[in-house]
């Protein structure tokens, strides 16, 4: 018996594997600091949980429309239209089981064998795998830390070929925390508007931007709206990772193709989660505001501590909840008789010697970097940074 060729094309999620290893060590009583996971450590807001109870009590426990409940699609359309001056109809909104499912379905609905999909690196690790699942080819465009990890019109223009079917843009970004401003997006839009390509804009971290800056969305650019597939959701903004709800706003033909796909796979996201998501979107925002403030406090502390580590440059992130540090200066150091040649090996070293779990940059297409999530408790992030400093010092044979 054999497995389908398509599963051989894709890699398992390494971040989940590393997180699992760290949690197994924690369970075994080891004092691990786990800064791998991209998941807020806050509870889902009380009124959202309450709405879920009420939904169950009201009997909203049955199948829903494949695109999601109309009330939620209307609320998403209204939110987007108010924020970005769009005119989305509820029929252009699809509710999926997390942003992840809507991303995968968007790619499956638009890309096929022979198509190229442009993915700027560092990238969220599922994009290339989703593209491969669709039998299309991921075209990775490496962005340099020295250039702020940003796509420029020139780089984008050079990357687009007649085979390009889609360009993926993720702002704020996982893993770098980079967020484009309006001018930078406008410059990219001027290139995209001239080309016949789908634009997949993953804005799952849209609510997590700091220093009082606004989020800039590709939805606000009329010139590409007939090609734009906008993805966002509830996981990160409302601490709702386990509820599995996300949404897509797309041109009508894409939205209906995705609904068709979804209707034969997952049908729709959990009915109770959809009612909870509606309460999140239309209810008080105090919890979100407080959470963002706390993330900003952690980012400031973590960033300051990182800066104090020699030869570990890091760009100050504008959004999301990650720091992406350049550890290339440490890759030549020896451990257990051999040089640490990769970021994965460096993460193994930090886990074994410091009980600190981080994610290697290689899984995001940026070898030599380390991703540190500050979506963990303030004191744990602080302790993690201390361990990182101690681990890197020890690697160079310096005592801490």
Q: Which stretch binds ligand PLP (CB under 6 A): 97-105, 190-198, 265-273, 292-300?
A: 97-105
Nearer to ligand PLP, 36 or 354 (CB): 36
x-or-dash string of contact with ligand PLP, 100-119, rule CB under 6 A: x-------------------
The enclosing H or E element of 186 equals helix 182-192
**Would you call 39 helix, strand, or coil by DSSP?**
coil
Q: How many residues make contact with ligand PLP (CB under 6 A)? A: 13
| Shortest distance (Å) from residue 400 CB to ligand PLP | 33
| Shortest distance (Å) from residue 98 CB to ligand PLP | 3
When CB distances to ligand PLP are compared, the closest residue is 98
Q: Which of 40, 68, 177, 233 binds ligand PLP (CB under 6 A)?
A: 233
Q: Please state, in angstroms and rounded to a whole number, the distance separating the CA atoms of residues 9 and 49.
A: 39
The residue among 160, 152, 153, 109 whose CA lies nearest residue 133 is 109
Q: Please state, in angstroms and rounded to a whole number, the distance separating the CA atoms of residues 313 and 355.
A: 22
Q: Which of 99, 119, 302, 357 binds ligand PLP (CB under 6 A)?
A: 99
> Is residue 124 within the footprint of ligand PLP (CB under 6 A)?
yes
Beta strands at 334-335 and 359-360: parallel, antiparallel or unpaired = unpaired
Tokens of 294: 């706390």
Residue pair 120/143 in contact (Cβ under 8 Å)? The answer is yes
Is the preceding peptide bond at 147 cis, omega within 30 degrees of 0? no
The residue among 380, 215, 392 whose CA lies nearest residue 314 is 392
Range 334-373, binding ligand PLP (CB under 6 A): none
Q: Which stretch binds ligand PLP (CB under 6 A): 98-106, 158-166, 222-230, 272-280?
A: 98-106
Q: Which of 19, 22, 33, 38 binds ligand PLP (CB under 6 A)?
A: 38
Nearer to ligand PLP, 45 or 391 (CB): 45
> Is residue 235 within the footprint of ligand PLP (CB under 6 A)?
yes
Residue with tokens 């990238």: 123
Q: Which of 94, 121, 200, 204 binds ligand PLP (CB under 6 A)?
A: 204
CA 115, 118, 124, 128 torsion: positive or negative? positive
Nearer to ligand PLP, 92 or 102 (CB): 102
Beta carbons within 10 angstroms of residue 119's beta carbon = 24
Q: Please state, in angstroms and rounded to a whole number, the distance separating the CA atoms of residues 109 and 166.
A: 11
- Give strand pairing partners of 122: none
Residues in contact with ligand PLP by CB under 6 A are 38, 98-100, 124, 170, 174, 202, 204, 233, 235, 241, 246
């Amino acid at each position: 018996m054999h497995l389908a060729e398509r599963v051989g094309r894709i890699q398992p999620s390494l971040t989940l594997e590393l997180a699992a290893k760290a949690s197994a060590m924690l369970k075994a009583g080891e004092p691990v600091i786990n800064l791998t996971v991209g998941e807020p450590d806050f509870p889902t807001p009380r009124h959202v949980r309450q709405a879920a109870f009420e939904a169950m009590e009201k009997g909203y426990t049955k199948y829903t429309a494949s695109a999601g409940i109309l009330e939620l699609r209307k609320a998403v359309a209204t939110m987007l239209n108010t924020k970005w001056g769009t005119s989305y109809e509820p029929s252009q909104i699809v509710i999926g089981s997390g942003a992840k499912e809507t991303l995968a379905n968007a790619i499956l609905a638009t890309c096929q064998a022979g198509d190229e999909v442009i993915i700027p690196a560092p990238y969220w690790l599922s994009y290339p795998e989703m593209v491969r699942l669709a039998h299309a080819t991921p075209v990775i465009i490496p962005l340099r830390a020295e250039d702020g990890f940003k796509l420029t019109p020139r780089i984008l223009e050079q990357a687009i070929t007649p085979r390009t079917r889609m360009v993926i843009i993720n702002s704020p970004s996982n893993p770098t925390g980079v967020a484009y401003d309006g001018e930078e997006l406008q410059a990219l839009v001027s290139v995209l508007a001239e080309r016949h390509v789908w634009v997949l804009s993953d804005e799952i971290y849209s609510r997590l931007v700091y220093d009082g800056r606004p989020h800039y969305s590709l939805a606000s650019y009329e010139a590409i709206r007939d090609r734009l597939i906008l993805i966002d959701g509830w996981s990160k903004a409302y601490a709702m990772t386990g509820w599995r709800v996300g949404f897509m706003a797309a041109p009508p033909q894409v939205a209906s193709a995705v609904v068709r796909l979804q209707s034969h796979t997952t049908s729709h996201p959990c009915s109770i989660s959809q009612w909870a998501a509606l309460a999140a979107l239309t209810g008080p925002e105090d919890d979100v505001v407080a959470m963002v403030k706390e993330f900003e406090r952690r980012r400031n502390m973590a960033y300051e501590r990182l800066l104090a580590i020699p030869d570990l440059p890091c760009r100050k992130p504008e959004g999301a909840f990650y720091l992406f540090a350049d550890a290339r200066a440490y890759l030549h150091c020896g451990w257990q008789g051999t040089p640490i040649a990769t970021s994965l090996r460096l993460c193994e070293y930090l886990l074994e010697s410091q009980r600190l779990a981080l994610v290697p940059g290689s899984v995001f297409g940026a070898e030599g970097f380390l991703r540190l999530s500050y979506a963990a408790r303030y004191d744990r992030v602080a302790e993690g940074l201390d361990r990182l400093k101690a681990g890197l010092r020890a690697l160079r044979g310096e005592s801490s």
